[in-house]
Amino acid sequence: MKEFLKDHLKECSHIPLFFGISSKDLLPMLQCLGSYIKTYKKGEFILLTEEAVKCVGVILEGSVKMIKEDLWGNKTILAVMEKEELFGETFTCGSTIAATVTFVAGKEAKVLYLPFERVMHSCSRSCVYHHRLIENMVTLIANKNVQLMEKLEIITKKTLREKISCFLSIQAQRNNSRYFTTSMGRVELSEYLCADRSALTRELNLMKSEGLIDFDKNTFKILKEFPD
């Protein structure tokens, strides 16, 4: 395990969760916390609803989808976490550690796990960087809340076009450009927008024919301001 963590030390050192922690302290910290790494194939379940969440996951490679499924099997993508982002932290920090969502690998993913109990009650050897780790985690949790608020803003729009326009506007702001690539294909985007896939495709093509947007697969360009 020591050699395995050491092999991934360089990619771990650039992750926001470990900001302010020196390279020489990073490996001892990960070992002290009992951290470990697992890989998942695309579409593989990482964590199922009602399973206990005992670790915070940090995405080293790939992506992870947070999915909510209702009684009838209808799926909604709540969020898509990319490389260097966290998942599962909401449940490990909450009053109940049982997941109310499912986490699935959006792409082939490599995940670093940090046992939350050890993060919160770390031994004396890690006290040098313990507070920094917790501060970073709080910041990232706040960022995740912003992401979920964006999702709420999108799905509360009345029409499908308004949902699409809001989603694309947020993506443009996040990328600081009207030309950007999203991490979601049509199926994932329809689940994220709580929309029918065929209806989504029709509306995107209509917006393209009207000169509002241009796109090629997951790459979009906003050509005109969206009307209110």
Checking if the pLDDT of 95 tops 70, the result is: no
161 and 137 together in one domain: no
**CATH number of the domain residue 169 falls in:** 1.10.10.10
Residue at 123 is within a domain: yes
Work out the widest C-alpha separation in the chain, in whole angstroms.
63
* pLDDT band at residue 99 using 50, 70 and 90 as cut-offs: confident
Domain count, the chain: 2
For residue range 46-85, list pLDDT tens digits in order.
999 888 888 999 999 999 999 988 777 788 898 899 999 9
Distance of alpha carbon 116 from its chain centroid, rounded? 18
38 and 124 together in one domain: yes
* DSSP per residue, 83-107: TT-EESHHHHHSS--B-SSEEEESS
Domain boundary among 82, 110, 144: 144
Give the model's pLDDT for residue 3: 40
Closest by Cα among 218, 159, 176, 188 to 66? 188
204 and 93 together in one domain: no
41 and 113 together in one domain: yes
Judge contact between 179 and 221, C-beta under 8 A: yes
161 and 139 together in one domain: no
Separation CA 30–CA 181 (nearest Å): 33
Closest by Cα among 104, 26, 11 to 64? 104
Residue at 132 is within a domain: yes
88 and 191 together in one domain: no
88 and 33 together in one domain: yes
81 and 132 together in one domain: yes
* DSSP per residue, 9-69: HHHHTTSGGGTT--HHHHHHHHHHHT-EEEEE-TT-EEE-TT-B--EEEEEEES-EEEEEE
Give the model's pLDDT for residue 209: 96
110 and 52 together in one domain: yes
138 and 186 together in one domain: no
94 and 53 together in one domain: yes
What kind and span of H or E run contains 213? strand 213-216
* pLDDT band at residue 225 using 50, 70 and 90 as cut-offs: confident
SS3 167: helix
Q: Please give the residue range of the domain that contains residue 180.
A: 157-222
Checking if the pLDDT of 124 tops 90, the result is: no
107 and 9 together in one domain: yes
